[in-house]
Amino acid sequence: MSQQDQKFKNLVAHCKEYGFIYQSSEVYDGLAAVYDYGPNGVLLKNNIKSYWWKSMVQMQENIVGIDSAIFMHPKTWKASGHVDAFNDPLIDNKDSKKRYRADQLVEGYCEKIQKKIDKEVTKAQKRFGDDFDKDQYLSTNPRVVKYQEDIDGIMKRMADAMTADNMVALKELIEELGIADPENGSKNWTDVRQFNLMFNTQLGNISGEEGKLYLRPETAQGIFVNFLNVQKTTRQKLPFGIAQIGKAFRNEIVARQFIFRMREFEQMEMQFFIKPGTQKDWYDYWKKTRLEWHKGLHDAEKLRYHDHDNLAHYADAAVDIEFQFPFGFRELEGIHSRTDFDLSAHQEVSGRKIQYFDPKSNESYVPYVVETSIGLDRMFLATMATALQTEMVPGQDDPNNTREVLKLHPALAPIKCAILPLKKNDERIVALAKSVFNKLRGSIQCMYDDTGSIGKLYRRQDAIGTPYCLTIDFDSLEDNCVTVRDRDSLVQERVSIDELKAKILPSVDMGNLLEGK
Ligand code: ATP
């Protein structure tokens, strides 16, 4: 197993062991690609939501929030194009009976070529040492240039086939490249066909097609159909945005990689309504703004842009912000210039005028839209991947003395402060520890824990990312102070119980993260 695979395995195991994420319906052997958040998971997830919401709504003058229903009138999805075009290309292997996404098989093939390029680069780096110029090498080494041309050619053919909805061409590409089933090596493929990703269900009081409802595959449509309601009730002037966080559902053909690709997940989306003609500027603005936001939590080299080759039916420009997950760079957030596609489509299908009267130019028009859309669960996974570290215990020279610590920003940490009585059977210590707990818990997310030795308790708090551990000991009974241990430095200091709130609250405040501290 590669080091990266091992790291990912550890991360998944850590999420379960410390109550972050469980497989859904585990007692029935689980339901594929559906997960439940445990006690620490839900706290972290709520903090991530709050960070996004505060950045996108509270800190913005012209963005407001809504919370629209998951069920929407079925015509919504006809108008939005999802009934006809929200498809992935499906292919079955006749021997293994396994189902794949045809585009992912082709991407997997290209990833293998990319690995050959990476290998050549590593070799050359060793050979040339400090003199190595990677960009020059990539553009001049004949073997590497050829590999890159192969990738570009294949990806272009795939994008053309997908854009033209030409599934025959996609199948031909798979056959020409000799792509085999990763499970058993068979090349005995069915034709490629489009598979709609929307789940559907039925209204109780209407039978047949009329009563067919969809579980929303994106939260965006709830924003579009409420555009006029929100604009009129908040008297917003263009440009302005509407944000929302909510569940979305997609019947993914292949759902792997833990919470990266789920069938039920949460999105945090913002639709920014603008004057037609200004979309390029706003697209660039949000592209840059969102990348900067991610840099607040992750190193810049773990983030990159990836322009879409194959634009969705509603977009005139689209870029992904990719994060380096333990299994490689993958999409974390999408920024899409959605033109006036959605509002115009709802205007046409509903027969209602969905337009904005511009008081400056004295004209009415359908606004254009730039969307930012991020998966909350992917953000959770990225946050955990960055935070989980195995490090030498600070202050000790022994390289074998390591600890697992979740270095979350204190504002995101599920528990801010753990109250640990040094003796659980000393009544006076327990009473004091409980009184500290009761004093803090109204304003700080605290945990009281007396279920092990102090060493074990510290280790458990490190593993869930608790920034402060407070120990109550015999001295506390005399001096009314507790020992405060800092998660990262392990420095311990005595702090008066009366001053605890004033010490802890400012450092776990979300404002720090919002202000880049
Ligand atoms: P992908 O190419 O990975 O399937 P997408 O381009 O279909 O993603 P969008 O439709 O742009 O995704 O959705 C916006 C965001 O929602 C994505 O950037 C991602 O963070 C999240 N997302 C999409 N599908 C899933 C899923 N199945 N599970 C978890 N998050 C998802």
Q: Kindly state if the Cβ of 375 falls inside 6 Å of ligand 1.
A: yes
Residue of the nearest CA to atom 25 in ligand 1?
A: 261
Q: Kindly state if the Cβ of 246 falls inside 6 Å of ligand 1.
A: no
Beta-bridged to residue 420, according to DSSP, are 471
Q: Kindly state if the Cβ of 172 falls inside 6 Å of ligand 1.
A: no
pLDDT, residue 313, reads 73
Q: Ligand 1: which of 158, 267, 294, 371 to mutate, judged by most atoms within 8 Å of the beta carbon?
A: 267
pLDDT, residue 256, reads 79
pLDDT, residue 2, reads 78
Q: Ligand 1: which of 262, 287, 331 to mutate, judged by most atoms within 8 Å of the beta carbon?
A: 331
Residue of the nearest CA to atom 21 in ligand 1?
A: 375
pLDDT, residue 392, reads 87
pLDDT, residue 496, reads 97
How far away, in angstroms, is 34 Cα from ligand 1 center?
Answer: 15
- Residues 280 and 318: their CA atoms lie apart, in Å, by 11
How far away, in angstroms, is 505 Cα from ligand 1 center?
Answer: 35
How far away, in angstroms, is 358 Cα from ligand 1 center?
Answer: 34
pLDDT, residue 235, reads 92
pLDDT, residue 3, reads 80
How far away, in angstroms, is 161 Cα from ligand 1 center?
Answer: 21
pLDDT, residue 115, reads 92
How far away, in angstroms, is 375 Cα from ligand 1 center?
Answer: 6
pLDDT, residue 315, reads 83
Instruction: Point out the ligand 1 atom lying closest to the alpha carbon of residue 267.
Output: 16
Q: Residue holding tokens 């993958």?
A: 330
* DSSP helix/strand/coil, 198: coil
Specify the DSSP element, H or E, that contains 47.
Answer: helix 39-53
Task: Going from the first residue of the chain to its last (517 residues), give the mean pLDDT of each consecutive group of 10, the final group possibly shorter.
Answer: 86 97 96 96 98 97 97 95 93 94 95 93 91 92 96 94 93 97 94 95 81 94 98 95 98 90 97 97 98 96 90 86 95 96 97 95 96 98 97 81 94 98 93 97 96 93 98 96 96 96 95 89
Crossing angle (nearest 10°) for helices 39-53 and 376-387: 110
* CB burial string 495-513: b at 16+ within 10 A, e below: bebeebeeebeeebebeeb
How far away, in angstroms, is 380 Cα from ligand 1 center?
Answer: 14
- Residues 220 and 248: their CA atoms lie apart, in Å, by 10
pLDDT, residue 207, reads 76
Side-by-side strand order, sheet with 193-196 = 99-101, 87-92, 193-196
